[in-house]
Chain A
């Protein structure tokens, strides 16, 4: 039984093309030139309870549109959405009271007053029972040290501290699903680490289903066993992170330190990608070539002082996906 189900989602935005100047603007009122943007083009996926997925894609790919449709604040053109068995557009109030949303770029806290006031407001909006509220605050304190921040006006918090506040405010009501839209944007390493730790813990402790969008592939690598890649409104990859990386970037790279390089070295299915004074880089595909055989062949021709095999990484894979799309 899936907790989120999206079937053949389509979404179009009609954008009025703006022409420069007053004349263009008047023309825009009476005879607007409209451009149709296909924000989502047949998007289908589903999630099980307790899963974490990383939703990634370049800017404008449709990540935020997907989240907005799943949270009920945007209506799809066609297709079906079910969140916890409900249609988020028709049962918006019911759905939004059981989900938590953080928009990393848009604060939902009250700027001029202490952080605790915002929490108290959310406690009332979501009608959180006292025991649950206190227990959650306790948990958040152990994970994110939130009690130290609670009496500080939001405008005086650092970006990392504020993001902790945003996240806590989204989980106080123990949501079943947590949507995190770029929660680590602009944060330093320590703050990112805290937030990743929090995401892992809340997923394990409370079985919260989490959808995470990010541009930081470190987030994905550490948190998301499953990756959904979206580009130009289409899902182009959906699966386990390792499998995607292996399939899209199968090349490994062998780096050799040697006294004297051999520029014309060849070996079947291998490619010399760079050659310096005493260093060589050779790429090879793990499917056809084993590293040991390649090294053996190399050592017959040059003297190897040191060597290193570099595994393909997620960045390479993603770069390739974006490049294709």
Chain B
């Protein structure tokens, strides 16, 4: 927390620049969805407002992930420049330490456009926000954030085995932002949808929850409620990723590379 506040004092103009331009990426993506959907009125059952709901939801979970777990993006650099060793020196669970250090209030820059887009879509869609729907939304936000975090934990943990300048993490940043949470998964061929559902569960970040809220069908006819499913998948995937991270850390400690 101190880190983000400090940077406001040290580089206030840089923060100003981010506040203006980082949302441009998000609104730019929305513009592309708008452009494509106005050409065809709807894409496979998705209206523009449905797409906006889907897209906004994805950005909100991205923002939550950036606020609470930003440090996992930097695992490789921390390993390369030896900063990670310092974390191992604290008399605490290193992963817990790592997460505490990563609280990053500057993530509100990332989350704000998501909230704007999501709210806009909700207003246009006239969804019924009863207690069940709100609980579902909370479950979806937690699940989506955990899935994103798990993906970056695995990407970062690769740095425990191999020297890299964050290549896997950089790949995942683009992969998530532009390729998988910017368009609903049902545009993809069946095989790829299988991968993006069962191997890297990005489908549960926003495609399936949005389909649940819109009352649409999903490709795999998953029997449980999709929103609840997101939470379960999120927890399971996070634990799996945590296991891999621990495994990598053990390897790192023993080789001391």
Contacts and interface: CB of A to CB of B under 8 A. Distances in A.
B32 interface: no
Interface in A18-36: 20-22, 24-25, 29
Contacts of A29: 13
Interface in B1-52: 8-9, 12-13, 15-16
A20 B8 CA distance: 9
A228 B66 CA distance: 54
Interface residues of B, number: 6
A170 to B, nearest CB: 27
A21 B13 CA distance: 9
B46 to A, nearest CB: 40
Contacts of B8: 21-22
Majority secondary structure of chain B interface residues (helix, strand, loop or mixed):
helix
B197 to A, nearest CB: 39
A41 B88 CA distance: 50
Contacts of B9: 20-21
Nearest to B165: A112
B15 to A, nearest CB: 8
Nearest to B15: A22
A22 B17 CA distance: 12
Contact of B16 (A20, A22, A24): A22
Contacts of B16: 22, 25
Interface string A1-41: 00000000000000000001110110001000000000000
A25 B7 CA distance: 13
Nearest to B9: A20
A22 B15 CA distance: 9
Which of A20, A21, A22, A24 has the most C-beta atoms of chain B within 10 angstroms of its own C-beta? Answer: A22
B104 to A, nearest CB: 18
Interface in B218-239: none
Contacts of B15: 22
A29 B17 CA distance: 14
Nearest to A23: B12
Contacts of A22: 8, 12, 15-16
Nearest to A25: B12
A24 B15 CA distance: 13
A29 B13 CA distance: 10
A188 B178 CA distance: 51
B151 to A, nearest CB: 28
A259 B101 CA distance: 62
Contacts of A25: 12-13, 16
Nearest to B11: A25
Which of B8, B12, B15, B16 has the most C-beta atoms of chain A within 10 angstroms of its own C-beta? Answer: B12
A24 B13 CA distance: 10
Contacts of A20: 9
Nearest to B12: A25
A24 B8 CA distance: 11
A156 to B, nearest CB: 12
Interface in B55-91: none
Contacts of A21: 8-9, 12
A20 B15 CA distance: 13
B223 to A, nearest CB: 52
A228 B53 CA distance: 71
Interface in A283-311: none
A238 B92 CA distance: 57
A300 B100 CA distance: 73
Nearest to A112: B165
A323 B171 CA distance: 56
Nearest to B14: A25
B14 to A, nearest CB: 9
B211 to A, nearest CB: 42
Contacts of B13: 25, 29
Interface string A208-245: 00000000000000000000000000000000000000
B247 to A, nearest CB: 28
B12 to A, nearest CB: 4
A304 to B, nearest CB: 54
A22 B11 CA distance: 9
A12 to B, nearest CB: 25
Nearest to B16: A22
A25 B16 CA distance: 10
Given A21-B12, A22-B8, A22-B15, 6 more contacts: A20-B9, A21-B9, A22-B12, A22-B16, A25-B12, A25-B16
> Lowest 5 CB-CB distances: which A-B pairs, in order?
A25-B12, A22-B12, A20-B9, A25-B13, A21-B9
Interface of A: 20-22, 24-25, 29
7 contacts: A20-B9, A21-B8, A21-B12, A22-B12, A24-B12, A25-B13, A29-B13
